C-alpha cells in the first residue's frame, strides 16, 4: 500500500468508463517505471490495481476475474512494461550458448515495454547485435539506441523474421563495444527515439571478451 500511494503521488483526475471509475498516476519523475492505476466497480463492489515497481507490472485483480480496462488504461498498458518485464536495473550480462558456434553475449532488457533481450555475437569475422522484442513491430528498419551517460550510440537494425520480433544490426564502426567495456551502471535504451527501459552493464567486459574475441580486438 505504501508503494501504491507513492506511485500515485502525481495523479490524474478520477474518470468514468461505463460502470468503472478509474485513475492513474506515477511517482514524481518516475513515469514508466514507478506508476499505478486503480479501477473501481461500485456495482460489483470490487477494485483492481495495476502497480509498476522498477518497471515491472503486477496486477491485483478481484477474485472473480479482471475488470475491463478503459481505453486510457489500455493505452497506458500498451506503452508501459508488462507483467513479464524485468525489474530495473536488470540482471548482469551472461554467455548464451549457441549450437555450432561461439557463445553470444546476452543481457535482458529491464523496465522495457517492448525489448526482451539484446545479444552481441560474431558472424563472418564481424560483430553484430540482435534485439528480441516481446511483440511484433512493423517496418523493415529501426534505429536502436544505447545511451551511456549522454554518450549516444545509434544502430540501424533490420527485421530478421517475418513476425517483426527479431532484429539485427552491424556493430562494426560504432563505439558500442568500447562503451560496454568501459562504462558502469546501466545504459538506457531507445527504439526510434522512444525510451525502452535500460540494460545493466554489470559483467559486460568479461562476457564480451569471451564472446567477441574472434571479431573484435580488445
Decide if 35 contacts 82 (C-beta within 8 A). Answer: no
Are 79 and 72 in contact by the 8 Å Cβ rule? The answer is no
The model's pLDDT over 148-178, given as tens digits with 9 standing for 90+, comes to: 988 999 999 999 999 999 999 999 999 999 9
Each residue's pLDDT, cut to its tens digit, for the chain (218 residues) gives 999 999 999 999 999 999 999 999 999 988 889 999 999 999 999 999 999 999 999 999 999 999 999 999 999 999 999 999 999 999 999 999 998 889 999 999 999 999 999 999 999 999 999 999 999 999 999 999 999 988 999 999 999 999 999 999 999 999 999 999 999 999 999 999 999 999 999 999 999 999 999 999 99
Residue extents of the structural domains in the chain:
2-78, 94-211
Q: CB–CB of 119/128 below 8 Å? A: no
pTM of the model: 0.91
Query: Residue 217, class by beta-carbon neighbours within 10 Å (0-12 exposed, 13-18 middle, 19+ buried)?
Result: exposed
CA distance 127 to 191: 20
Say which residue the cell 561461439 belongs to: 102
What's the pLDDT score for residue 180? 98
Amino acid at each position: 500500500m505504501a508503494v501504491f500511494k507513492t506511485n500515485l503521488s502525481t495523479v490524474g483526475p478520477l474518470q468514468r468508463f461505463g460502470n468503472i471509475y478509474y485513475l492513474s498516476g506515477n511517482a514524481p519523475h518516475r513515469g514508466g517505471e514507478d506508476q499505478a492505476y486503480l479501477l473501481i466497480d461500485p456495482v460489483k463492489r470490487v477494485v483492481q490495481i495495476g502497480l509498476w515497481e522498477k518497471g515491472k507490472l503486477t496486477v491485483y485483480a478481484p477474485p472473480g476475474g479482471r475488470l475491463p480496462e478503459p481505453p486510457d488504461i489500455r493505452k497506458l498498458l500498451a506503452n508501459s512494461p508488462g507483467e513479464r518485464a524485468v525489474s530495473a536495473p536488470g540482471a548482469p550480462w551472461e554467455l548464451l550458448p549457441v549450437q555450432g558456434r561461439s557463445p553470444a553475449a546476452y543481457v535482458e532488457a529491464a523496465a522495457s515495454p517492448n525489448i526482451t533481450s539484446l545479444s552481441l555475437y560474431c558472424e563472418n569475422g564481424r560483430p553484430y547485435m540482435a534485439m528480441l522484442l516481446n511483440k511484433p513491430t512493423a517496418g523493415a528498419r529501426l534505429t536502436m539506441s544505447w545511451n551511456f551517460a549522454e554518450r549516444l550510440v545509434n544502430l540501424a537494425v533490420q527485421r530478421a523474421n517475418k513476425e517483426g520480433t527479431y532484429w539485427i544490426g552491424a556493430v562494426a564502426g560504432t563505439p558500442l563495444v568500447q562503451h560496454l567495456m568501459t562504462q558502469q551502471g546501466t545504459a538506457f535504451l531507445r527504439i526510434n527515439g522512444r525510451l525502452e527501459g535500460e540494460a545493466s552493464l554489470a559483467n559486460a567486459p568479461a562476457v564480451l571478451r569471451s564472446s567477441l574475441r574472434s571479431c573484435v580486438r580488445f
